Chains A and B, each alone.
Chain A
Amino acid sequence: KNEVEQSPQNLTAQEGEFITINCSYSVGISALHWLQQHPGGGIVSLFMLSSGKKKHGRLIATINIQEKHSSLHITASHPRDSAVYICAVNSGAGSYQLTFGKGTKLSVIP
């Protein structure tokens, strides 16, 4: 089974700061997902990537397949970005099952 580790577990930032959340995994994958869990509990898919980099608004996700590592960056952070960010991976071609990290809790202070 793939092991997914996220760091840091908790992160507090001032509004406007650049934020980086890291995810590493232990075995080869076919895709990596970044999810956002709102304080009320709902989960939203932010990115799915298998190589390179993706950008959506102030969010950027990168992946390095050789190093088995991905990062989620938030530029110009805002209090509404406060949430738990979860990394998840699909292991193996055609694999539909996700292995989830424990999440990174982000708090952005005005």
Chain B
Amino acid sequence: DADVTQTPRNRITKTGKRIMLECSQTKGHDRMYWYRQDPGLGLQLIYYSFDVKDINKGEISDGYSVSRQAQAKFSLSLESAIPNQTALYFCATSPPGGSYQPQHFGDGTRLSIL
């Protein structure tokens, strides 16, 4: 089983719909992240969380919200989806230790908004 699991893997939906992407991990890491990847661009940080009570905005948080339901679960929501949110979304985790810890990524969710 994957250490970082994202569901769904693929989703096609319509403009204006509310969408939730889920991430769960079995690595026991405190830190969790949501990124989006657009063709030709580097990954961009949407939100990150250091524990259940600590949630922070990343560089492109507008139009998104998150929920850290438990140490192992971190969900990303699009309240009212728009076509330019079509992208590949990744969840990642890392243990404490600042910059000297690698991040562990899920397999991604490919989201298309029509």
Contact = CB atoms under 8 A, between A and B. Distances in A.
Interface in B93-112: 94, 98-108, 110
Q: How many residues of B sit at the interface, in one of the four size bands? A: 20 to 34
B12 interface: no
A97 B45 contact: yes
A16 B81 CA distance: 46
Contact of A30 (B43, B90, B99, B110): B99
A32 to B, nearest CB: 9
B105 A102 contact: no
B45 A41 contact: no
B90 A43 contact: yes
Taking each of B41, B90, B98, which has the highest tally of chain A beta carbons within 10 Å of its own beta carbon?
A: B98
Q: How many residues of A sit at the interface, in one of the four size bands? A: 20 to 34
B42 A101 contact: yes
A57 B102 CA distance: 19
Taking each of A30, A48, A98, which has the highest tally of chain B beta carbons within 10 Å of its own beta carbon?
A: A98
B9 to A, nearest CB: 9
A95 B103 CA distance: 13
B40 A30 contact: no
Given A30-B99, A93-B98, A42 B48 contact: no
A68 to B, nearest CB: 16
B51 to A, nearest CB: 13
Interface in A63-110: 86, 88, 90, 92-103
A44 interface: yes
B98 A45 contact: no
A31 interface: yes
A42 B5 CA distance: 11
A100 B102 contact: no
B68 interface: no
B88 interface: yes
Contacts of B100: 30-31, 48, 50
A93 B94 CA distance: 16
A40 interface: yes
A88 B103 CA distance: 11
